[in-house]
Amino acid sequence: MRYSALSLLRGALNGHRDWPQAWRNPSLKGSYDAVIVGGGGHGLATAYYLAKQHGMRNIAVLEKGWLGGGNTGRNTAVSRSNYFYPESTRFFDHSLRLYEGLGRELNFNIMLSQQGIIGLAASRHELETYRRWVTAMQLQPVDAELLTRDQVAARVPLLNMSRRARYPVYGAFMQKRGAISRHDAVAWGYARAADALGVDIIQHCEVTGIDVAGGAVCGLRTTQGTVRSDKVALAVAGHSSELAAMAGLRLPIESQALQAMVTEPVKPCFDHIVISPAVHCYLSQSDRGEFVIGGGTDLYPSYGQRGSLRGTEAVLGAVVELYPALSRMRLMRQWAGIVDISPDTSPIIGKTPVTGLYLSTGWGTGGYKAIPAGGETLAWTMAEDRPHELIEPFGLDRFVSGRLIDEGAASGVAH
């Protein structure tokens, strides 16, 4: 559907009364060929690619709240593919490429802005680590480069570049294709496109039980009734442990709060995403002029969606040290989401020991950027019932084989 300026104005004045719904509001059927639990980006993208690329039409997405109301609508919307290990770089770069064409694929403006991500080095040691990281990425080949102190100062004039700063800048890592986009648009775009292909998106439908018989999944119990299906995917982020336990699985996942916050809006003055892994804070300026600020998790298990004051203080303390000019700005909002952290901070995606039960979890602090590739590869895995090659290294079985992919240690941060 395309709108003229006049029809937009008319819609605004009459309360959008005549606008068609972007997706249907269907009732839950008794059985589906595939059911995806979780109406966040990963669940919706999986449903879309199952319908689009594998011709499945009898699919449901079950969401206990509203679409994109979980981490997909709570994140700081950074996409990048600068990871250390080849498995990670390959997967996340595929995702970034899908993002680069996503607006066209979904006919939905996701407002992708490839302003580049800069990772600050606060010591000579960190700069040396970046040198190896850049080389590892260039070998893939994926774009990555080192910046000198002067180049950083020219790109980020608000930074405190004093040699006596508490967090001195020795240089930086940069990926120019690093981007921010509109997270709601990603959820809505996938939802609208999946619905148009016949996928039933059922909101306010909480899954309360998973039925397993003879080692295979056969159905789900929900607050809107029971449903039969022999293919079920769990894409429920911070609630993965709870849901997997319903099928008798114990996951190596810890759920923690991750916070973000925004300042009042100001004129455009910051045109990169800048992260300081040493002090664990990052920021970008939104198209509305607000600074969008994030940091590390609250570091203890919790299902509280507010986050701790200690976490907020730690991030803001670092922002003020790094960008003294921001110290007089007012903070408008702060919130948190419950993220799903695996022991090696890499995702867990693919098959499980229960036949027909698939998982998309462990995205932790960095799964927004993975939505297109996570959805596409999980859909392939569900349709073929074997792991897609891009996600084969990220299976649950790595916690048995010991072939961990410790990006937390190798590339430091995962946003």
CB of 13 to ligand FAD, least distance (A): 33
DSSP character for 291?
E
Nearer to ligand FAD, 127 or 255 (CB): 255
CB of 245 to ligand FAD, least distance (A): 11
Give whichever of 78 and 251 is closer to ligand FAD, judged by the CB atom. Answer: 78
The radius of gyration of the chain from alpha carbons, rounded to an integer in Å, stands at 21
Please state whether 153 falls in left (phi above 0), alpha (psi between -120 and 50) or beta: alpha
Q: DSSP character for 257?
A: E
Preceding peptide of 141 cis, ω within 30°: yes
Residue appearing with tokens 């970008």: 284
Nearest CB to ligand FAD, comparing residues 71 and 377: 71
Please, what is the minimum distance in Å from the beta carbon of residue 338 to ligand FAD? 7
**Least distance (Å) from ligand FAD to the CB of residue 148?**
26
CA distance 152 to 336: 30
The nearest distance, CB 342 to ligand FAD, in angstroms, is 12
Q: Which residues contact 395 (CB under 8 A, 6 or more apart)?
A: 348, 349, 350, 351, 387
Nearer to ligand FAD, 169 or 202 (CB): 202
Q: At its nearest, how many Å lie between ligand FAD and the CB of residue 336?
A: 6
Residues that bind ligand FAD (CB under 6 A): 37-43, 62-65, 69-72, 74-78, 206-207, 235-237, 239, 243, 258-260, 294, 337, 339, 363, 365-369, 415
Written as one string, the DSSP assignment of 365-398 is: T--STTHHHHHHHHHHHHHHTS--TTTGGGSTTH
Nearest CB to ligand FAD, comparing residues 171 and 369: 369
Using the 8-state DSSP alphabet, how is residue 405 labeled?
A: -
Query: Could you give the residue ranges of the DSSP H alpha helices within 166-206?
Result: 183-196
CB of 361 to ligand FAD, least distance (A): 7
305 by Cβ neighbours in 10 Å (0-12 / 13-18 / 19+) ranks as middle
Q: How far is CA 206 from CA 43, 120, 253, 262, 408, in A?
A: 14, 42, 21, 31, 32
Q: Using the minimum distance from each CB to ligand FAD, give the nearer residue, 38 or 103.
A: 38
Minimum distance, C-beta of residue 227 to ligand FAD, in the bound complex (Å): 12
Return d(Cα 199, Cα 50) in angstroms, integer.
Answer: 9
- Report yes or no: 321 and 280 within 8 Å, Cβ to Cβ: no
Question: CB under 8 Å to 127, separation ≥6 — which residues?
Answer: 121, 146, 170, 171
Nearer to ligand FAD, 41 or 103 (CB): 41
Instruction: With beta carbons less than 8 A apart as the criterion, state whether 235 and 360 touch.
Output: yes
Contact between 411 and 82 (Cβ < 8 Å): yes
Decide whether 95 or 127 has the Cβ nearer to ligand FAD: 95
* Smallest separation, CB 384 to ligand FAD (Å): 21
Q: Which is nearer to ligand FAD, 63 or 171 (CB)?
A: 63
Instruction: Indicate the residue whose CB is closest to ligand FAD.
Output: 40
